[in-house]
Amino acid sequence: MSEAPVKGEIRIERITKKFGDTVAVDDVSFEIPGGEFFSMLGPSGCGKTTTLRMIAGFEDPTAGRIVLEGKDVSFVRPAKRNVNMVFQAYGLFPHMTVAQNVAFGPKIKKVPKAEIAERVEEALATVRMDALADRRPAHLSGGQQQRVALARALVNRPAALLLDEPLGALDLKLRKEMQLELKRIHATTGTTFVYVTHDQEEALTMSQRIAVMKDGLVQQVATPRELYERPANAFVAGFIGTSNVLTVRSDSVRDGLVVMDLGDGDRICAPDTGAGSGGETKIIVRPERMRVWGDPDGEGMSRVHGTIAEVVYLGSMTQLIIDLKTGERVTVHELNDDLKGALPRTGDPVVVQWAAESSFVIDDTAAVNVAADLKSPG
Amino acid sequence: MESTAPPVSEGRHLRARVVRTLRPAAFLTGPMAVLALFFLAPLIILLIMSFRYESLYGFQTGWTLDNFRALFTDPIYRGVAKDTLIIASTAMVCQLLVAFPLSYFIAFKAGRWELPLLLLLVLVDELNPIVRIYAWRMLLGREGLINDFLIWTGIIDVPLDWLLFTKFSVILVLSTSWVNYCALPIYASMKAIKPSLFEAATDLGAGWITRWRRILIPLAAPGIFVAIILVYIPLFTDFATPGLVGGTSSYMLGNSVADLMVVIGDWGAGSALSLLMLAAMAVVAVIAYFLTKLNQLD
């Protein structure tokens, strides 16, 4: 096999993992270019952790292969793979100091003593833990322990760093802090980061690209922005951010738009996907794309009357829950900056408007294992 | 409703406090009395007897250090003490060599067999020691199963006679006694080790030898020390095993005490030896205790 090694590149090629009769990971493929911050996102049991553990070498794939820097490592022992893992429970050795913990890897790899000291110091400085090098893990806070776990992995200078929900045990404030810290460390080291999380906000904050997984299948691999603005299916749309799902009946088609006539000048316009007159499609509109105040009426605008069911004032914006006359309930985010006059109240009649290009049609038959059309190996 | 609390008399406060302090103690009075009567009292009698002398027919009695002096000067006791130390220590090491991997297996590898195996371990070990020792005799004797088997297979022509009534047989039988007391504390300290530590070590390049040496053994050390406290003392003071499977080379201090007291009837010397052994074991316990403390993770 003549594959040019690319630093930190990981290729997952049609990986399947079965535990008994349960398929944890189902024919999954994706590529992670060297140096990328890549996340696997999905609800628990979606196969993201299993995939990560296969990259680390703790699980053997049932089928398919894992290529690390151009080398097939599918069945290479974890110790012999140039990747390191950061565990959710940190996995720090309680009987060793911070420095001893970090030195563990290089010591086993028989790195010369002077170099070990140098590298440990450097790794601890990277995670800003150099001042506490002589502490035992029990004397550190959760965030500090996580930093040590990071240093212990980074000190080995791995081709890729694998992170298994590393911030899961931290409280919200600390988690936000560590998210930015991880981004900084990623930028400093240039190492490939493969990050597993079930927290969509965390994935969006940190990742360059995200693989959204469900039931062992990859739903979509894309940048955070693509995932949010062009989700491949209803699951991705629902998992990433809040979304309003509306059913559109095609009453007429004009200018490439499907129009559903609701009377009283009310209408819903959606991009035409060729479903034809009388067909039904589902569209998704993000809450911040819908307008309640302001008057942006015009061609191609959807407008539907509704009643306010709930008003939640959130400081910079207001969240409105609105029952449309179609019987559907939508969430609308309006910036308070644009508000003239008083906040609307529950029960007030309103007109919800949005531009047709703010909505997108979802097709639930497509887009699982999006990258699975790779040539089969060999 | 009054907003201020009604005044409570000092007396009621005091009584409540006394009751609160004394109630747990009251629960202990029963057990404490039993212990004092049946454990502490004989110990005190032993202590008194070890410093007493009594001439034949009890015409003269008084206090003396002769009992202890004899133990320290008589070369026989020195030899017995040395043999006891060798036998007990070897058996202790053998027990640890068996109990440690066994605990590891039960704690990390047994899966759903964990509890059944633990119960089995306790059951097997709680078998009446006399029954167990006789079982060993049937295995190890000149016409025992092992010799019969070896002759039948043609490996040997003449039965091995060092299998029974030797130091070997005593060490072998002692090595298999109290294995549960040895394994359970080690198992308990291993259960406290998060399996993710082994994964982390593997991830950092450690093979199984490194994992055992650098992670498992240091973290299981407190359990090992407790096991030593629990097992070394009965091993050191045992007299049933050397009595039943031992020979002249495996006469232990426990046998000396038994013989002094029961056969010779020299209660003074027997008491003195018992107390010395008690003191020696107290030293072992204190050392093991401090080793545990030293190893404790704060």
If asked whether residues A214 and A290 sit together in one domain, one would say no
| A279/A124: higher pLDDT | A124
Give me the residue from B202, B205, B215 closest to A93, CB to CB.
B215
Closest-CA residue to B171 (of B98, B66, B273, B101): B98
Measured in degrees and rounded to the nearest 5, phi and psi for residue A194 equal -115, 115
Last-in-domain residue among A239, A259, A275: A239
What the block records as the tokens of A69 is 């820097």
Q: At a CB cut-off of 8 Å and minimum separation 6, what does A73 contact?
A: A57, A66, A67, A81
Give me the residue from A94, A139, A156 closest to B204, CB to CB.
A156
Please tell me the distance in Å from A212's CA to the nearest CA on chain B: 26
Give me the residue from A85, A89, A94 closest to B203, CB to CB.
A85
What are the tens digits of pLDDT across the range A3-13?
566 788 999 99
Query: What average pLDDT does the structure give for chain A?
Result: 87
The answer to whether B185 and B223 have CB atoms below 8 angstroms apart is yes
Average pLDDT over residues B286-298: 74
Closest-CA residue to A132 (of A157, A102, A104): A102
Contact list in B for residue A56 (CB cut-off 8 A) is 203
Task: Give one DSSP letter per residue of B75-133, joined into a string.
Answer: HHHHHHHHHHHHHHHHHHHHHHHHHHHHHHIIIII-GGGHHHHHHHHHHHHTS-HHHHH
Distance in angstroms (rounded) separating the CA atoms of residues B285 and B274:
16
- Residue ranges, CATH 1.10.3720.10, chain B: 73-295
E strand segments, A97-164: 160-164
If asked whether residues A315 and A167 sit together in one domain, one would say no
**Which residues, numbered 190 to 209 in chain B, qualify as contacts with chain A under a Cβ-Cβ cut-off of 8 Å?**
194, 196-197, 199-207
Last-in-domain residue among A208, A224, A239: A239
**Residue with structure tokens 């974890």?**
A78
Looking at the domain assignment, is residue A2 inside a domain? no
What are the tens digits of pLDDT across the range A296-350?
566 668 889 999 999 999 888 899 999 998 888 999 998 888 777 788 889 989 9
CB contact under 8 A, A139 and B298: yes
Query: What average pLDDT does the structure give for chain B?
Result: 87
Which pLDDT score is estimated for A59? Answer: 93
Distance in angstroms (rounded) separating the CA atoms of residues A376 and A47:
21
C-alpha distances in angstroms, A184 versus A31, A140, A145, A190?
23, 22, 18, 10
Could you count the other beta carbons within 10 Å of the beta carbon of residue B262? 10
C-alpha distances in angstroms, B137 versus A58, B79, B170, B248?
48, 26, 11, 16
CB contact under 8 A, A91 and B196: yes
Contacts 24+ apart (CB under 8 A), A124-128: A124/A98, A124/A99, A124/A148, A124/A151, A126/A151, A126/A154, A126/A185, A126/A188, A126/A189, A127/A151, A127/A154, A127/A181, A127/A185, A128/A181
C-alpha distances in angstroms, A81 versus A54, A75, A76?
11, 10, 7
| B52/B278: higher pLDDT | B278
Distance in angstroms (rounded) separating the CA atoms of residues B241 and B246:
7
**Domain of A23, in residue numbers:** 10-239
Looking at the domain assignment, is residue A377 inside a domain? no
* Residue A25 pLDDT greater than 60, yes or no: yes
Please tell me the distance in Å from B224's CA to the nearest CA on chain A: 16
Q: At a CB cut-off of 8 Å and minimum separation 6, what does A304 contact?
A: A262, A266, A267, A268, A324, A325, A326, A351, A352, A353
Distance in angstroms (rounded) separating the CA atoms of residues B46 and B268:
8
If asked whether residues A31 and A69 sit together in one domain, one would say yes
Distance in angstroms (rounded) separating the CA atoms of residues A80 and A68:
12
Which pLDDT score is estimated for A220? Answer: 92
CB contact under 8 A, A91 and B194: yes
* Residue B121 pLDDT greater than 80, yes or no: yes
Contact list in A for residue B298 (CB cut-off 8 A) is 136, 138-139
CB contact under 8 A, A138 and B298: yes
Looking at the domain assignment, is residue A119 inside a domain? yes
What the block records as the tokens of A377 is 């190996």
Looking at the domain assignment, is residue A371 inside a domain? no
If asked whether residues A198 and A254 sit together in one domain, one would say no
CATH code of the domain containing A297: 2.40.50.100
CB contact under 8 A, A108 and B219: no
Which pLDDT score is estimated for B1? Answer: 47
If asked whether residues A251 and A358 sit together in one domain, one would say yes
Chain A residue nearest residue B215, CA to CA: A93
Using the 8-state DSSP alphabet, how is residue A309 labeled? Answer: E
| A374/A212: higher pLDDT | A212
* Residue B54 pLDDT greater than 90, yes or no: no
Q: Are strands A349-355 and B61-63 parallel, antiparallel or unpaired?
A: unpaired
CB contact under 8 A, B203 and A78: yes
Which pLDDT score is estimated for B183? Answer: 93
Please tell me the distance in Å from B97's CA to the nearest CA on chain A: 23
Chains A, B: CB contacts within 8 A come to 59
Please tell me the distance in Å from A91's CA to the nearest CA on chain B: 5
If asked whether residues A298 and A225 sit together in one domain, one would say no
Closest-CA residue to A30 (of A218, A189, A195): A218
The answer to whether A282 and A361 have CB atoms below 8 angstroms apart is yes
Task: Please report which residue ranges of A127-273 form alpha helices under DSSP H.
Answer: 142-154, 172-189, 200-206, 224-229, 234-239
Which pLDDT score is estimated for A372? Answer: 40
Average pLDDT over residues A130-157: 93
Average pLDDT over residues B104-130: 88
Closest-CA residue to A268 (of A171, A355, A155, A334): A355
Contact list in B for residue A102 (CB cut-off 8 A) is none
* Residue A356 pLDDT greater than 60, yes or no: yes
CB contact under 8 A, B219 and A95: yes
Range with the lowest mean pLDDT among A124-128, A233-237, A261-265, A297-301? Answer: A297-301
Looking at the domain assignment, is residue A1 inside a domain? no
Q: Which residues of A touch B (CB under 8 A)?
A: 56, 58, 78-79, 84-85, 87, 89, 91-95, 104-105, 108-109, 136, 138-139, 152-153, 156
Looking at the domain assignment, is residue A160 inside a domain? yes
What are the tens digits of pLDDT across the range B225-268?
999 989 998 999 998 899 888 888 889 999 999 998 888 888 88
Which pLDDT score is estimated for A365? Answer: 52
Q: In degrees, to the nearest 5, what angle opens at C-alpha A21 toward C-alphas B108 and A366?
A: 125
CB contact under 8 A, A84 and B218: no
CATH 3.30.70.2190 fits B73-295, yes or no: no
What are the tens digits of pLDDT across the range B141-193?
888 888 888 888 888 888 888 888 888 999 999 998 888 899 999 999 999 99
Q: In degrees, to the nearest 5, what angle opens at C-alpha A263 toward C-alphas A261 and A267?
A: 40
CB contact under 8 A, A89 and B204: no
CB contact under 8 A, B200 and A87: yes
CB contact under 8 A, B194 and A89: yes
Q: Which of A87, A92, A93, A109 to mutate to test the interface with B (most CBs of B within 10 A)?
A: A93
Q: Which of A87, A120, A134 to mutate to test the interface with B (most CBs of B within 10 A)?
A: A87
Which helix (H) or strand (E) is A312 found in, with range? strand A301-313
If asked whether residues A225 and A251 sit together in one domain, one would say no
The answer to whether A49 and A216 have CB atoms below 8 angstroms apart is no
Using the 8-state DSSP alphabet, how is residue A325 labeled? Answer: T
Looking at the domain assignment, is residue A3 inside a domain? no
If asked whether residues A214 and A249 sit together in one domain, one would say no
What the block records as the tokens of B148 is 């019969």
What are the tens digits of pLDDT across the range B199-235?
999 999 999 999 999 999 999 998 999 999 899 989 9
Which pLDDT score is estimated for B295? Answer: 66
Q: Which of A77, A104, A119 to mutate to test the interface with B (most CBs of B within 10 A)?
A: A104
Looking at the domain assignment, is residue A32 inside a domain? yes
The answer to whether A246 and A326 have CB atoms below 8 angstroms apart is yes
Chain A residue nearest residue B197, CA to CA: A91
Q: How many domains does chain A have?
A: 2
CATH code of the domain containing A200: 3.40.50.300
Which pLDDT score is estimated for A369? Answer: 54
Please tell me the distance in Å from A230's CA to the nearest CA on chain B: 38
If asked whether residues A179 and A304 sit together in one domain, one would say no
Task: Give one DSSP letter per residue of B166-204, joined into a string.
Answer: SHHHHHHHHHTTTHHHHHHHHHHHHHTS-HHHHHHHHHT
Could you count the other beta carbons within 10 Å of the beta carbon of residue B139? 18
Contact list in A for residue B218 (CB cut-off 8 A) is 95
Distance in angstroms (rounded) separating the CA atoms of residues B138 and A174:
67
Contact list in A for residue B214 (CB cut-off 8 A) is 93, 104
CB contact under 8 A, A104 and B298: no
| ipTM confidence score | 0.78
Contact list in B for residue A156 (CB cut-off 8 A) is 204-205
Which pLDDT score is estimated for B7? Answer: 61
Whether the CB of B296 is below 8 Å from some CB of chain A: the reply is no
* Residue A370 pLDDT greater than 90, yes or no: no
SS3 A298: coil
Using the 8-state DSSP alphabet, how is residue B68 labeled? Answer: H
